[in-house]
Structure 1
Amino acid sequence: MLPQGVAIAHPDRLHIGGAWVPAQSGRMIEIVSPDSEQVVARVAEAGEADMDAAVRAARDAFDHGPWPRMAKAERLVLFRKMVDHLRSRTDELARCWNAQVGGLMSFAPMMHAGGVMTLDQIAGFAEAFEFAEVRASMAAPAAIVAHEPVGVVAAIAPWNAPFGIMANKVAYALVTGCTVVMKPSPETPLEAWIIAEAAEAAGLPPGVVNLVPGQREASDHLVCNPGIDKVSFTGSTIAGKRIASVCGGRIARCTLELGGKSAAIVRDDFPIEAAAKLLSSTIVQMSGQICAMLSRVIVPRGRHDELADAIAAEMAKVAIGPSTDPATQLGPLAMKRQLERVEMYIEEGRKCADLAYGGGRPSHLNVGYFIEPTLFANVDNTSRIAQEEIFGPVLSLIPCEDEEDAIRIANESAYGLNGSVLTQDAQAAYAIGRRIRTGGFGQNGLRMDFGLPFGGFKQSGVGREGGPEGLWAYVESKTMLLDAMPSTL
């Protein structure tokens, strides 16, 4: 059972060691549409034994197979074939995203075409990367610094943007010569099937790319497997702390892209109406389910009430409806438990702030995981709705005394993923951005470029993905001091 327009060959099997094999768990994952609350797909579920089998296959492919020992150019030829296969299936990828999490079909094709273009960029970064460099040394006549693949990578992706996030992890691993065990979210596994089929179609050696979607216990078992050299994880900070502790126990490598509670500072030079339109349209993107979402708005106290009224007026115009409707601006939340989580935070907000708009389910939709865009005004930055990641279309408006106070409030967070300032002064934007402790920062809105480094400060993560810098997380550097320079590097 698959969504209409999706042609996966073996949804009832896992991809391990170059073969499509039955899950030893004997279980299946049911995928529920957030629009209809009906089951739209069933796929094989990996258990602990399946995780171990995938690690053994990836380990064998890394330790004894040709992939890590291929010349860079040979790897890139096969990788680009894989990317071409994915490019031919962007429509399927878009349909998968829409069916699984209710991502808007009006946006899905563009999003997934952009995701494939990012893979082209990654190939270009690898082509320019020097995997062996000649250096000067006082200790030997010949010195070489080699950058070698880190080993077997567990790539663990979340449910909100499953293709782009998983594909990037797989891409950086492959172009550096690593082998991969893909562990997609059980809510959104379909894209990983297509990635595995792309690897197969491109002719990658057996065991280089493996696929094992599983629930939390099996995923933890994967992370704990000593055959995993590196974990690349995107998801919640709570899960990231567990992964960091496990990796720390055996000094395994990890890259963690975690939660966020990003702030947008509104300066006095930015018009209220423009700010309201920008902020209200941003918070409904992907139903607010973006880790870098600008979910806190910091505004001078004298402009607070005017901005609250303006944002509420803009939220009232938002078209809420099925994700397949071209007119829809705000679709459903991804799953029932996410809806319940958002509703819990809305109830918390009612206790400590002013509900300026929304807070309920749309009256015209009695099926599906829908919630109104919600604005809380006069929010205390120490409150739960200002400090904890809600992951929904809920905006907190926080008054400040002046610019210095705004910067203090923005930094008063356990997170440090993203930020913004709404201003017409680029020099001021740069100066403020340098003082905000986040891994990303943009002038006038939610701005992200995955061809550049992406990651967070503080509890928003460890390491960076994206850009040429993303390659460094998948290599180990080795210094070689020789009596003479080898004939080839």
Structure 2
Amino acid sequence: MSAPAPATPDALSLRAGLELPYTHVDDVFSGGRWTPAQGTGRNPVTDPATGEIWGSVPDGNAEDIDAAVGAARQAFESGPWRRMSATDRAGYLLRIAEGIEARAEQIALTNTRENGSPVAESRGAAANAASILRYFASLAPRLDAEDVRPFPSGVGESVVRRDPVGVCALIAPWNFPINLMVIKLAPALLAGCSVVMKPASPTPLSFRFIVDAVAAAGVPDGVVNLVTGSGRLGDALVRHPGVDKVAFTGSTPVGRKIAAAAGELLRPVTLELGGKSSAIVLPDADLEAMSSVLVRSCMRNTGQTCYISTRILAPASRYDEVVDMVTATIAAGRQEDPLDPDTVFGPCATSSQFNTVMEYVASAHAEGARATTGGRAAQLGGGLEDGFFVEPTVFADVAPSLRIAREEIFGPVLSVLRYDDVDDAVALANNTRFGLGGLVFGEDQDAALAVADRIDSGSVGLNFFASNHSAPFGGRHDSGLGTEYGEEGLSAYLSYKSIHRR
């Protein structure tokens, strides 16, 4: 007789042995040191799997912003950082990468307790962040190389200088806090900028490991600074007169406000915002292969990923077959404590996001969509009764006019829409105000590529989706302004000067 399967550990047992270095902290990082915050308020840090408040950070104020921006300004104007060669700065990036990797497990566990990302996901954050840093370090020779361009008329030449843009405000969201900050930090540092980092209020503690790695790498004082607080603090940072550039990842409504402020101040800004991407399933698609990448491509991080294709566009001839495959794949994903390595789907990151997702689920039911799996708040035990869990949900019979087909949900909800022919599929994919990601599934690579070329989006995957550190990533329309990753992402932190000579 076979031995019984081991019992699933409950939330209390998984958390009992955790030893996290940062829980309740009182300081911010400014001018190369941790100093007590001037703001007297506190922002709690809640575990979304249990509803427990387990940490807190200062709710910074104007004085904290002034100190951080002032330190960054002094470092930029008077310090050695911008005067180093890019190759020398790249050496620091490589040491930061090593420092982040050395803190990988603490980063993962802290991140999971902050936002509920399954630890199977958060355990990749440090390696990915290190890879981003190493990629941008590899671009140093391009910055150090002399760039001389002759006049077309032949009367002289121009020396093109690539100067750092200045003090940068870097504002990251709560869904992938480490990587979405490092994709800003790495090019800013290589370019010679100094920065003030502002994390989203639900995920402030994991950022301290980035600062620890920066300090251990010996980055000069004031080059990297960290403040914590609410959205009000982020607005003050964006508008601070000492800031030269803003980089923000987050929601489209907040991005609009930042863009308005940047326009008023004539301040360069990079915005990576929301999405409502589609996966077009061509008639010849291999559904078994699609199933193997479905969660990663369409419901990654419990649906809390900006570029994922949460609308599955299926041909009428195979609609029921696609619905069955998507339903079975999502239903098979384990939803449990995100600290359990076998968990596929965790909770929504905040109680507010839980409420938002449940409103969309209710609207789908009311508007006639059919839930083939999920469609309710999840009822979990073992200490997770107060967590923010929504059952992973698939809706079929979704008309393009439904809210769930038009608006970004940012939760574990997929919609399967029907199309008649490829032209209809492309029109449905482009019938959105967003333009961030997308997928085409099909066996004929040339045909799939031809369809991808017709999708009005910043990135499209053929039979899988992943970000390439060396290729630009950015959104169109309401999905943002500018790009990150690649040489194009580095260019966002540079200011160009042409010196003309005979």
Tell me the CA shift for residue 131 of structure 1. Answer: 5.9
The CA distance in 1 between the partners of 2:182 and 2:398, in whole Å, is 38
CA contact (8 A) 2:76 2:194 kept: yes
1:425 alignment partner, one of 444, 459, 464: 444
Partner amino acid, structure 1, of 2:67: A
Equivalence for 1:194: 209
Which one of the candidate residues 212, 221, 227 is aligned to 1:206? Answer: 221
Partner residue of 1:487?
none
CA distance in 2 between partners of 1:222 and 1:377 (Å): 44
Contact 1:126–1:471 (Cα < 8 Å) also in 2? no
Task: State the alpha-carbon separation in 2 of the partners of residues 276 and 90 from structure 1.
Answer: 30
In 2, distance between residues paired with 1:143 and 1:272? 55
Letter in 1 for 2:106: E
Segment drifting more, 173-182 vs 219-228: 219-228
Moved more, 449-458 or 224-233: 449-458
Aligned length: 482
Q: Select which of 50, 73, 97 maps to 2:64.
A: 50
Go from structure 1 to structure 2 and tell me whether the alpha carbon gap of 1:363 and 1:7 turns closer, same or farther (over 3 Å shift). closer
What is the CA deviation profile of residues 417-444 of structure 1, one whole-angstrom value per residue up to 9, with x for unaligned ones? 0000110111011111111011111111
5+ residue gaps, structure 2: 1-15
Q: CA RMSD in A?
A: 2.0
Match of 1:356 in 2: 372
Write the distance in 2 (CA, Å) between the matches of 1:94 and 1:127.
33
Q: 1:198 Cα deviation (Å)?
A: 1.9
Residue aligning to 1:446: 465
| Amino acid paired to 1:40 | W
- The letter of the residue matching 1:237 is T
Range with greater deviation from structure 2 (220-229 or 4-13) = 4-13
Which TM-score applies when normalising by structure 1? Answer: 0.94
Q: 1:281 to 1:93 in 2, by over 3 A?
A: closer
Which amino acid is 1:432 matched to?
V
Distance 1:135 1:458 in 2: 34
Indicate the SS of the match to 1:327. Answer: coil
Change (3 A) 1:281 1:210: closer
Cα distance per residue 1:205-237 (max 9 Å; x no partner) = 221111011101111111111211110000001
Matched, 1:114 2:125: no
2:254 to 239, 264, 270: 239
Quote the residue 1:486 is aligned against: none
Which secondary structure does the structure 1 equivalent of 2:310 belong to?
A: strand
2:233 maps to which residue?
Answer: 218
Deviation at 1:130, TM superposition (A): 4.5
Contact 1:5 1:95 in 2 (8 A): no
1:27 is aligned to 41
Residues 283 and 393 of structure 1 are in contact (CA less than 8 Å); yes or no, is this contact kept in structure 2? no
> How far, CA to CA, are the matches of 1:88 and 1:391 in structure 2?
31
CA distance in 2, matches of 1:296, 1:275: 14
Q: Are 2:93 and 1:82 equivalent residues in the alignment?
A: no
Name the SS of the counterpart of 2:99 in structure 1. helix
* Aligned residue in 1 for 2:51: 37
Amino acid at match of 1:22: P
* Cα distance change, pair 264–48 in 1 and its aligned pair in 2 (3 A): same
Please say if residues 294 and 446 of structure 1, whose CA atoms lie closer than 8 Å, have aligned partners that are also in contact.
Answer: no
Matched, 1:154 2:169: yes
Determine the C-alpha separation between the residues in 2 that align with 1:32 and 1:321: 17
Pick which of 328-337 and 273-282 moved more.
273-282
Identity %: 38
1:342 is aligned to 357
Preserved CA contact (<8 Å) 2:286 2:441: no
User: Contact 1:3/1:96 (CA < 8 Å) preserved in 2?
Assistant: no
Conserved 8 A contact 2:458-2:475: yes
| Per-residue Cα deviation, 1:394-428 (whole angstroms, up to 9, x for no partner) | 00111111100000010010000000011011101
The secondary structure found in structure 2 opposite 1:293 is: coil
CA distance in 1, matches of 2:264, 2:132: 34
Helix, strand or coil: the match of 1:190? coil
CA 87–272 in structure 1, closer or farther in 2 if over 3 Å, else same: closer
CA distance in 2, matches of 1:256, 1:105: 28
**CA shift in 2, pair 1:94/1:223, >3 Å:** same
User: Residue 318 in 1 paired to residue 333 in 2?
Assistant: yes
CA–CA distance in 1 between the matches of 2:20 and 2:157? 55
User: For the structure 1 residues 292 and 413, does the alpha-carbon distance in structure 2 shift closer, same or farther, using more than 3 Å as the test?
Assistant: same
Which letter does structure 1 place at the counterpart of 2:206? E
Task: Give the distance between the partners of 1:326 and 1:199, measured in 2 at CA.
Answer: 29
Shift of 1:177: 0.3
